[in-house]
Chain A
């Protein structure tokens, strides 16, 4: 798959890399069992530090999207249905654009919505 990083952006490089895996999973481009490139290969190609890629892979492991195993590398794990969010996220982005709400503000609203107690909590 295609990997891009933009050092000029505020988002840290490891987060940019992790986000691309999430979007590829949400788009169905990566499926359970697919292998991510060895961290060494990706770091060399993107001209970033090996630890930057490892940090991205570790974050993905922590959220349950990737299995990291010695000798097998990083493999897409049995995971939550990221693809289910594909359409709603696209709708949200379209709504934010037409309303003139910035990406940062939109993301903050999403985070705030997550912080609100759910029905079950009540």
Chain B
């Protein structure tokens, strides 16, 4: 069993072969495939190849060799994501999410490359290249489909009950043996409100100014997404810890029997997790970082850590430890 101290030596990440197939081999195969296709078109392509489009057609060009730079960038990103999962992907949701991102990025870069270069076969010069014509939409669709597929194929965490009692030095809350106890409260994300409102206003303005009414679907989708992230209810009870958006979804859970210990930590969302919302830290900790300040940090079996920012975290963490005491053998 893994030790329960705050900085344990981590066991290897599970499902390394599946992760390598989905997060490394799959996207690299797509990128190499795209490179081979483009190489095969070498003699048909103009000397300068359009690589960027403005409103009046192509406005950025590169040499034949330079046209491979995006593929190389894509490959570096995918290798980076794969390496992160192999190193810090102990948490199933993290592992599946980053694997999906890597697969999706591979598809995105490969389709954009093939789509934009294919349209320039047989042209005298890149400036004659036709408008982008659906390549980006196709690439995004391919990325979403492949990402979703990789997410589903990547294994979730099986139940993994803790075998050792909660650490003796973790805070507790005195409970009578037959007493049932629960702690629940809501936490808002005031920091997210400003960019949320700004994003919605900007996209609505754009839609109105450009008279592109289809664009109105963007602020509507944004507003729904942001509303789901703005207010959460955090609950600790005999089932464990659960954080649920007040809309009912999404939901983050740690079952009580997988709790090794819970502590209070101070969180700076931007510095530690690069922003607000459900985030993965560089150290592999998953966090629901809704605001700066106190948070419950739960060490879970399998070297997984979840951080949830919430007021009165001390009571929540202590109750979680005391309830886990009852559950553990």
Residues of A within 8 A of B (CB): 1-8, 35, 37, 41-42, 44-48
Q: What is the distance, in angstroms, from A47's C-beta to the closest C-beta of chain B?
A: 6
Q: What is the distance, in angstroms, from A86's C-beta to the closest C-beta of chain B?
A: 20
Tell me the B213-249 residues at the A interface (CB within 8 Å). Answer: 233, 235, 237-239
Query: Can you name 11 A-B pairs with beta carbons within 8 Å?
Result: A1-B183, A2-B319, A6-B176, A8-B178, A37-B184, A37-B233, A41-B184, A41-B235, A45-B182, A45-B235, A45-B238
Residues of B within 8 A of A (CB): 173, 175-176, 178-186, 233, 235, 237-239, 312, 315, 319
Q: Give the residue name and chain of the A residue nearest to B184 (CB).
A: A37
**With the chains together, A48 CA to B179 CA distance in Å?**
12
Q: What is the distance, in angstroms, from A110's C-beta to the closest C-beta of chain B?
A: 25
B235: A residues at CB distance < 8 A:
41, 45
Inter-chain contact B180/A46, CB cutoff 8 Å: yes
* In the A-B complex, the 10 residue pairs with the closest CB atoms: A45-B182, A45-B237, A4-B181, A8-B178, A6-B179, A37-B184, A3-B182, A2-B183, A5-B180, A4-B179
Inter-chain contact B184/A5, CB cutoff 8 Å: no
Q: What is the distance, in angstroms, from B92's C-beta to the closest C-beta of chain A?
A: 24
Inter-chain contact A47/B180, CB cutoff 8 Å: yes
Residue among A2, A4, A6 with most chain B CB within 10 A: A2
**With the chains together, A37 CA to B236 CA distance in Å?**
13
Q: Give the residue name and chain of the B residue nearest to A13 (CB).
A: B180
**With the chains together, A52 CA to B239 CA distance in Å?**
20
**With the chains together, A6 CA to B319 CA distance in Å?**
16
Q: What is the distance, in angstroms, from B242's C-beta to the closest C-beta of chain A?
A: 9
A4: B residues at CB distance < 8 A:
175, 179-182
A7: B residues at CB distance < 8 A:
178, 180
Q: What is the distance, in angstroms, from B190's C-beta to the closest C-beta of chain A?
A: 17
Given the known A-B contacts A35-B186, A47-B238, are A2 and B233 also in contact in the complex, defined by CB atoms under 8 Å?
A: no
B312: A residues at CB distance < 8 A:
1
**With the chains together, A2 CA to B233 CA distance in Å?**
14
Inter-chain contact A42/B178, CB cutoff 8 Å: no
**With the chains together, A109 CA to B186 CA distance in Å?**
40
Q: Give the residue name and chain of the B residue nearest to A6 (CB).
A: B179
Inter-chain contact A5/B315, CB cutoff 8 Å: no
Inter-chain contact B185/A5, CB cutoff 8 Å: no
Q: Give the residue name and chain of the A residue nearest to B178 (CB).
A: A8
Q: What is the distance, in angstroms, from A6's C-beta to the closest C-beta of chain B?
A: 5
Q: What is the distance, in angstroms, from A27's C-beta to the closest C-beta of chain B?
A: 13
B233: A residues at CB distance < 8 A:
37, 41
Q: Give the residue name and chain of the A residue nearest to B175 (CB).
A: A4
B315: A residues at CB distance < 8 A:
1-2
**With the chains together, A63 CA to B15 CA distance in Å?**
58
**With the chains together, A6 CA to B179 CA distance in Å?**
4
B182: A residues at CB distance < 8 A:
2-4, 42, 45-46
**With the chains together, A8 CA to B181 CA distance in Å?**
14
Q: Give the residue name and chain of the A residue nearest to B312 (CB).
A: A1
B179: A residues at CB distance < 8 A:
4-6
Given contacts A3-B184, A4-B182, 20 further A-B contacts (CB under 8 A): A1-B183, A1-B185, A1-B312, A2-B173, A2-B181, A2-B182, A2-B319, A6-B176, A6-B178, A6-B180, A35-B186, A37-B184, A41-B233, A42-B182, A45-B182, A45-B235, A45-B237, A46-B180, A47-B180, A47-B238
